Structure 1
Amino acid sequence: MSGWVDLYPLLVLPSWVPGAVAGIISMYLIQRVIFPYFWADLRYLLKVLIYGLRVEIYRLQGRIFTVLDKFVKLAEKQPHKPFLIYEGKVHTYRDVDRKSNRVAQVFLHHGALKKGDTVALLMGNEPDFIHVWFGLAKLGCVVAFLNFNVRSRSLLHCVSSCEPKILVVGADLLGTLEEILPDLQKDISVWIMTKDSTFSSVHTLLDKIEAASEDPVPVNRRSANNLKSSVLYIFTSGTTGLPKAAVISQMQVLKGAAGLWAFGATADDIIYITLPLYHSAASLLGIGGCIELGATCVLKKKFSASQFWSDCQKYNVTVIQYIGELCRYLCSQPVVIGEIICQVVISNMRKIGQIQVYKLHEDMWTLFFPFDLIKYDFQKDEPIRNKHGWCEKVKKGEAGLLISKVNAKNPFFGYAGNKRHTEKKLLCEVFKKGDLYFNTGDLMVQDHENFLYFWDRIGDTFRWKGENVATTEVSDVIVMLDFIQEANVYGVSVPGKAGMASLILKQNTLLDLEQMYKQVVTYLPSYACPLFLRVQDKMEMTGTFKQQKFRLVDEGFNPATITDPLYFLDNSRKAYVFLTKEVHEMILSGKIKL
C-alpha cells in the first residue's frame, strides 16, 4: 500500500496539462481539416531547401557537380545496376557509360567538335538517344533535341535556328532526313545511326561506335564553367507558329533532375518513361531524375494505352510520369487485371490531374517557384491592366494566365538565336515598377483547396495529345494548296482540344480532300493535322482584323447545328470523309478513337 502512496504524486497531473492536451488535439484536427497537406508540403520544402544549399555550397567551393558527373560516379559505384530497360533488354550504368564513351571517342576523332559547339539530335525513344546525348555532353557540346514529329519546312527551321555543327539522325527517321537533306545547310555534317548509307554526303555512326574505344575522354571537356552555361536546346511550339529553341542551363538541368527525389522517389524505384525524350519531362525529370536517385528507368518507344499497365506489372514499375492527356487515354481503356495488381506511385500529382500548392506556405513556395495567375483578355489576347497600368490577380476558381517571376534565383535564358521571341515571352511592370515575369502561355485555375488545373493555352495555340499545336503553322501549310484562299485553325472540345480548320475556297475551285490529306500528313506532325474541316463562304474577322475564332470554337463540329459542310480525318481510311451525324455520335461516344 505504501508503494501506491509513493506513486500518487506522479499520477496527479498539473491542472493545465489536460487543457494543453486538448488544445494540441484541437490544433491537430483543425490542421487536418483546413491544412491537410501541411506536413507533406513542409517535408517537400525542406528537401528543396537542402538541395538548394548543396548546390550553393558546390558553387561557393568553385565546384559544379553536374547531372552527367553524377552519372559517371554512379557508373563507378554501381556498375551492374540496371539503368535503362528497353524492350526487355537491360542496359546497366556501366553499359551506358561505356557506350556513351564510344560515341564521344567517335566525334572526338571524326567530328572536329569543339567544346560549346551545338549538335542537333533527331531520334526517337531508344537507348542510343541516351548514348549519343551523354557522349556529346562528355565533349562539352550543347545538344539540341529535335521533335521527330516535325517535318519538312518546320524541321529545317528548327535545325537552322540552333546552328548545329552536326546533325545526328536515328535509323528509323531516314525518310524524314531525305525530305530536308537537299535544303540542309552545306556546313552541317550529317550522321545517321546505321552501318551503311545510301546518301553520298552522309556519315554512318553505328559502325564507328562499334569500332571505337571505351576509354573516357578528358574530364575537362565536359566540365561546366558556371551554372548558367547552356547545355541543351529543347524546342517549344510557342504561340507564333514555328518552333523555338529554349535555352536550358546547367542549373535548370539540376533543378529538373531533383524533381523525382523531391517528390519522395528513391534509388529502389523503377520509373516508367513513355513520354518522348525530346521533351523536358522525359529527359530532364525522367532520365535526369533517375540519375539523381541512382534508380532504374523503363524506356518505352512510344506511349501505348493498351500496353501501359501490363508493362508496369511486367517490369515492377513503381513510378510513372504524368501529363494531362495521359490519364484520359488510360481511363478510356478497358480495366485489366494488371491495373488492379500494379502498385504504382504517380509522380507530379497528389490529386489526379492537378498540381498541389499549399496556401499556408505560399510565400515559401514562391521563394522557389515564384508564380501568379493574372487576369487575361481573351478577345484582345493580352493581360488585363487596371487604370494604373498594373496587372491584377484572379480570384479562386477563375482562369488566369500563369506567370513566373524572373530574377537572379529564377532566370529566363530565352530562345536560341531569336531575341524578338525571347522579349515577347517577358512581361514588364506587372505589379510594380521594374518587375519582370515570364509568360508561360498557360491558362490555369486555382480552386479553393489551392490545387491548380490546366485550363487552356493562350494565343494561337491549343494542346492535343500532350503537344502544343501552333495554329498559324497549320494554316500556313494548308494555304499552300492552290484551291485554298484562307484557313482559320483552332481547337475544339472532343474531350481535349482537337484541331479544326475553317476553310475559304478560291473562286471556281472545289475542295480536293485527297490533296488536303496528303498536304497535312506530309508537312505537319501527326498531332497537328486537323481532325475536322469546315468549309465556309466567308471568314469572320474581329474589330482588329484578326480571324474570329471564339464563335467557331463554341460551335464545334456538330453537323446537327452547323449547316456548313464538315469533314473528319479518318485515320483508318487515310482520308478526310464527310462528317455525318452518325460519325459525330461515334466520336463523342468513343467508338471512333482519335
Structure 2
Amino acid sequence: MSLHISGWSRATGFNLVLCMYVFFFFFNSQTPPTLHFITKCGALLESRFSGKESDLIMFWFIVSAILLLFALRFRYPYFIKEATYARRIAIAIYRTTKYLKSKPPYTLLDRFLDSVRKNPRKAFIRFQDETYSYAQTDKQSNKIARSLLKHADLHEGDTVALLLGNEPVFLWMWLALAKIGCSAALLNHNIRSKSLLHCFSCCGATVLIAGAELQDAVEEVLPALREQGISVYILTDHVTTEGLESLTDKIAQASDEPIPADLRANITLSSPAVYIYTSGTTGLPKAAVIAQLRLWAIASLFSICGVKSDDVVYICLPLYHSAGFAIGFGGAIERGATVVLKSKFSSSQFWDDCRKYNVTVIQYIGETMRYLCNTPKRVSDQVHNVRMAIGNGIRPEVWRTFISRFGNIDIKEFYGSTEGTLGFLNYAGKMGAIGRVNFFHKKLYPYALVKFDQEHDEPVRNADGFCIEVAKGKLNVLLSKHKAQFAGYARDPKQTEKKKLYNVFEKGDVYFNSGDLFRTDHENFIYFQDRVGDTFRWKGENVSTNEVSDILTMATSIEEANTYGVTVSGYEGRTGMATIILKKDHQFEPEVIFSHVTTYLPSYARPRFIRIQDCLAVTCTFKQLKGKLVEEGFNPAVITDPLFVLDETVKSYRPLTRDTYQSILDGRFRL
C-alpha cells in the first residue's frame, strides 16, 4: 500500500509516530512499532478520511493527547495529582510574592476586610444557634478595638495575652488587635498556676484578657501579675475582685465605626502576628513567634488542599493551637469561607453538627479520627456533605476504617510544626504517608533526611564533620534549610539556637532541626515515624514508640496504648514500656498479649513492662503525655496501677511484684 505524502498526512504521520513511540516507551515495550507499520496505519486513515484533512488532524491531536495521558497514568500514576499540587503551590507563592511587594504590606487582616467589602452578608462564623456575617464580625471587632484603645491604653507593637475558650469573641478579639497593630499571645485555657505564669511572661504581654469562666484561674496568679503591673480584663459586665476590670460592658458602649489604618501603619510582614505555644509534652511550653508572612503561609494550606470560598469549615480544635487558629480560622479568611465553630470536640455530636450546618470540610488532629471510628455505628454515618478532611496524625488502620464507615472523604494528611520552616502534604492520598519527596518542592524548600544518633541526641557526622544523608527505608531526622520564616521562640534564645544546626553539608550553612524522624519508601512517599524524644534505643536498635503502640492496639483487648522507654539499672539504653487502656468488658490476658507482641514485633521492640490505667493523659491536641510516665518508671512500690513484666520462660506477661522488681535490679531476672 503506497503512502501519499500530502500536507495533512505529514502532520498526522508525525502525530502517529509521536503517539506510538510515547505509548510504547511508557509501557517499557521491547518491540516498538516499525515505521512500515505506522505508514500502513497512516495510509489506511488517509483513505477513510479523504477530503477531510482538518478533521483528521484534529482526530490525531485528540488521540495523541489521550494516549499520552494514559501513558502518564500508568507509568507515573501520581503525575496528575503532582501537577495539581505544583500548580496550587505556584499560585500560593505568586500570591505571597504579590503581598510582599505591595505597599503597604497586604496582611491576613486586609484579606478579611476585602471579604467584608465584597460579601458583607455572607456567613462567616456559625456558633451554636447564632450566625455572624463578615460585616457583623467586622463591626464586633471594631467595637473591641475601640474599647481597648480607650481603656487598655494599647499601642501599635504591644502584645495582649488571650485566655479564652472556643467562642466567636476569640476571633473578634484577634481581628481587633490586628486592626490596632497589636499581636496576640494565645494561652492554653487548660493550664494553671506556674505554667500559666510562664506562658504569660515569655510573650512579653502587657495586658491579659480572659473569659468569665476562667476568672478563678486568673485570680490564682493575680498577685504575680499585679507585681508586674499587668492590666487584667475579664469578659464580663461586672467584677468585684481588686486588680481585675470588666470588659464586656465597655465593648457594648463602644462605636463600631471602622478603625483607621494608620494605627497599624508600621506593621510589616515580618512583624509578629500571634504567639502560639508548643504543646509542652516535655517541659514547659515555648512561645513560637508567628510573623505576618508565616501566618499567610500556614493559612495557605487550605488553598493548596483545594478548599474553596463556598466551603463550610468545621473547627472543633482549640483556637489557641496552630491547627485551629492558623490553619482553620486563618485558612477560612484566606479562602473567604464560612467557619462553624465548636466549643470543644465531641465525637457523639460531630456528625450531627456536620449535617446541621452543611459542613463540607473538617479538621482533625491526633486521635480525633479514632474517637469518631469508635462511636456506635449509625445508619446515618454516610449521610453528610463532608468532602474533605485536613489534619495530621491519622494511623493507616484508622484511615481505612474511617473511609469505609463514613464514605469516600478526601483525606489531606499533612506534616508541619508550629515553629517549623517546612511542611509536607499527602496530595496523592497514600494511606499512612504525610507526603511525597518531590523535586520541585525540595527545590523551593530545601531539606534533607540525615542519619541520627539516638543516644547522643544529635545527627551523625562523617570524617569531614558533615551530616550524612540516609538511604530509602532507613530512619532519619528531617532538617530544613534555615530561612527567615523561623522567628524562633519568644524570649528564649537558648531554645531558639538549639533548633539550629550549623555546617550540615558545607561550611557556613544553617538548617532547622525538626527533631522528627521519618523514612521514605520505594515510591518516594515519606512517613512520619516518631519524635526524637519518643524514640528509644534498646539492644543496639532504634524503636519507634508509635509503631509499637500501633501493634499493641491491634490486640483484641487493648483500646489505646502509650509506649515509651524507661531506664533499667545495669542495661544500656532504655527498654520498652507501654501504658494501656483495656476495652470495655475486656480483661488483660497475659498469654494472649505475649503471643501478640512476639508475633508482630521483633525481640528488641517488645515492651518488657505493661502498665494498665483507666485513661491516658494527653495534651489539648491529643498528643500522649510521656514525661511523667517515664519518670515513674516501673517500680511497683511507687505505682498503684497493675504492672506486668514480659517473661520469656513462661511465654507470658506476669505480675510485676516487688520481689521481681528487685530481681531485675539485681540482674537475676534478665530482660
What SS is found at the alignment partner of 1:267?
coil
Is 2:99 the counterpart of 1:54?
no
Q: One-letter code of the match for 1:131?
A: W
Per-residue CA deviations over 1:62-102 (Å, capped at 9, x if unaligned) read 33111101111211221111101111321111111111111
- 8 Å CA contact retained: 2:549, 2:562: no
Q: One-letter code of the match for 1:579?
A: P
- 8 Å CA contact retained: 1:120, 1:164: yes
Please give the alpha-carbon distance, in whole angstroms, between the structure 2 residues aligned to 1:388 and 1:429: 10
Please give the alpha-carbon distance, in whole angstroms, between the structure 2 residues aligned to 1:497 and 1:403: 30
Q: One-letter code of the match for 1:391?
A: C
Please give the alpha-carbon distance, in whole angstroms, between the structure 2 residues aligned to 1:376 and 1:316: 47
Please give the alpha-carbon distance, in whole angstroms, between the structure 2 residues aligned to 1:303 and 1:255: 26
Quick one: structure 1 residues 72 and 496, their matched pair in 2 at CA, closer, same or farther if it must change by over 3 Å?
farther
- 8 Å CA contact retained: 2:519, 2:529: yes
Quick one: structure 1 residues 565 and 295, their matched pair in 2 at CA, closer, same or farther if it must change by over 3 Å?
closer
- 8 Å CA contact retained: 2:546, 2:563: no
Residue of structure 2 equivalent to 1:301: 343
Please give the alpha-carbon distance, in whole angstroms, between the structure 1 residues aligned to 2:480 and 2:496: 15
Please give the alpha-carbon distance, in whole angstroms, between the structure 2 residues aligned to 1:42 and 1:400: 28
What SS is found at the alignment partner of 2:325?
helix
Higher mean alpha-carbon deviation, 345-354 vs 188-197, is at: 345-354
Please give the alpha-carbon distance, in whole angstroms, between the structure 1 residues aligned to 2:76 and 2:10: 35
Is 2:164 the counterpart of 1:123?
yes
Per-residue CA deviations over 1:133-191 (Å, capped at 9, x if unaligned) read 11111111111011122222111111111121101111222232233223335311111
Quick one: structure 1 residues 492 and 580, their matched pair in 2 at CA, closer, same or farther if it must change by over 3 Å?
farther
- Per the TM alignment, residue 355 of structure 1 is displaced from its structure 2 partner at its CA by 5.0
- From 301, 314, 317, the equivalent of 1:272 is 314
Please give the alpha-carbon distance, in whole angstroms, between the structure 1 residues aligned to 2:259 and 2:158: 16
- Per the TM alignment, residue 265 of structure 1 is displaced from its structure 2 partner at its CA by 1.2
Quick one: structure 1 residues 134 and 334, their matched pair in 2 at CA, closer, same or farther if it must change by over 3 Å?
same
Quick one: structure 1 residues 285 and 556, their matched pair in 2 at CA, closer, same or farther if it must change by over 3 Å?
closer
- Per the TM alignment, residue 455 of structure 1 is displaced from its structure 2 partner at its CA by 1.6
Per-residue CA deviations over 1:204-223 (Å, capped at 9, x if unaligned) read 11111111111122212234
Show the 5 A alignment for 1:240-389.
241-343=283-385, 344-347=387-390, 348-349=412-413, 350=427, 351=429, 354=432, 357-359=435-437, 362-389=438-465
Q: One-letter code of the match for 1:295?
A: A
What SS is found at the alignment partner of 1:260?
helix
Residue of structure 1 equivalent to 2:50: none
Higher mean alpha-carbon deviation, 197-206 vs 24-33, is at: 24-33
Quick one: structure 1 residues 363 and 172, their matched pair in 2 at CA, closer, same or farther if it must change by over 3 Å?
same
Quick one: structure 1 residues 66 and 532, their matched pair in 2 at CA, closer, same or farther if it must change by over 3 Å?
closer
Please give the alpha-carbon distance, in whole angstroms, between the structure 2 residues aligned to 1:563 and 1:324: 26
Residue of structure 1 equivalent to 2:524: 450
What SS is found at the alignment partner of 1:337?
coil
Is 2:642 the counterpart of 1:579?
yes
Per-residue CA deviations over 1:266-292 (Å, capped at 9, x if unaligned) read 111111111111111111111111111
Q: One-letter code of the match for 2:284?
A: L
What SS is found at the alignment partner of 2:528?
strand
Higher mean alpha-carbon deviation, 319-328 vs 136-145, is at: 319-328
Is 2:614 the counterpart of 1:551?
no
Per-residue CA deviations over 1:291-331 (Å, capped at 9, x if unaligned) read 11111011111112222222222211111123343322222
- From 521, 540, 544, the equivalent of 2:569 is 540
Q: One-letter code of the match for 2:450?
A: I
Q: Percent identity?
A: 39
Higher mean alpha-carbon deviation, 276-285 vs 350-359, is at: 350-359
Please give the alpha-carbon distance, in whole angstroms, between the structure 2 residues aligned to 1:563 and 1:444: 25
Q: Could you tell me the TM-score, scaled by structure 1's length?
A: 0.76
Residue of structure 1 equivalent to 2:499: 425
Quick one: structure 1 residues 341 and 540, their matched pair in 2 at CA, closer, same or farther if it must change by over 3 Å?
same
- 8 Å CA contact retained: 2:472, 2:520: yes
Q: Could you tell me the TM-score, scaled by structure 2's length?
A: 0.68
- 8 Å CA contact retained: 1:273, 1:282: yes
Q: One-letter code of the match for 2:530?
A: D
- 8 Å CA contact retained: 2:226, 2:243: no
Quick one: structure 1 residues 577 and 494, their matched pair in 2 at CA, closer, same or farther if it must change by over 3 Å?
farther
Residue of structure 1 equivalent to 2:478: 402
Residue of structure 2 equivalent to 1:22: 20
Per-residue CA deviations over 1:346-387 (Å, capped at 9, x if unaligned) read 23334266455444xx23102333332222222222222222
Please give the alpha-carbon distance, in whole angstroms, between the structure 1 residues aligned to 2:288 and 2:139: 30
- 8 Å CA contact retained: 1:570, 1:577: no
- 8 Å CA contact retained: 1:230, 1:249: yes
- Per the TM alignment, residue 450 of structure 1 is displaced from its structure 2 partner at its CA by 2.7
- 8 Å CA contact retained: 1:372, 1:402: yes
- 8 Å CA contact retained: 1:116, 1:140: yes
Per-residue CA deviations over 1:225-268 (Å, capped at 9, x if unaligned) read 42211111111146761111111111111111211112211111
Larger Rg: 2
Greater relative contact order (CA < 8 Å, ≥ 6 in sequence): 1
- From 119, 130, 134, the equivalent of 1:78 is 119
- From 172, 180, 183, the equivalent of 1:142 is 183
What SS is found at the alignment partner of 1:85?
strand
Gaps of 5+ in 2: 27-68, 391-411, 414-426, 537-544, 554-560, 582-587, 595-606, 618-638, 645-652, 654-671
Please give the alpha-carbon distance, in whole angstroms, between the structure 2 residues aligned to 1:52 and 1:194: 43
Please give the alpha-carbon distance, in whole angstroms, between the structure 2 residues aligned to 1:264 and 1:532: 36
Residue of structure 2 equivalent to 1:173: 214
Per-residue CA deviations over 1:539-566 (Å, capped at 9, x if unaligned) read 63877xxxx6x30437989894899895
Please give the alpha-carbon distance, in whole angstroms, between the structure 2 residues aligned to 1:103 and 1:122: 16
Please give the alpha-carbon distance, in whole angstroms, between the structure 2 residues aligned to 1:11 and 1:387: 64
What do you get for the CA RMSD once the two structures are aligned?
3.5
- From 35, 55, 74, the equivalent of 1:33 is 74
- 8 Å CA contact retained: 2:181, 2:267: no
Per-residue CA deviations over 1:82-140 (Å, capped at 9, x if unaligned) read 10111132111111111111110111000011110111111111111101111111111
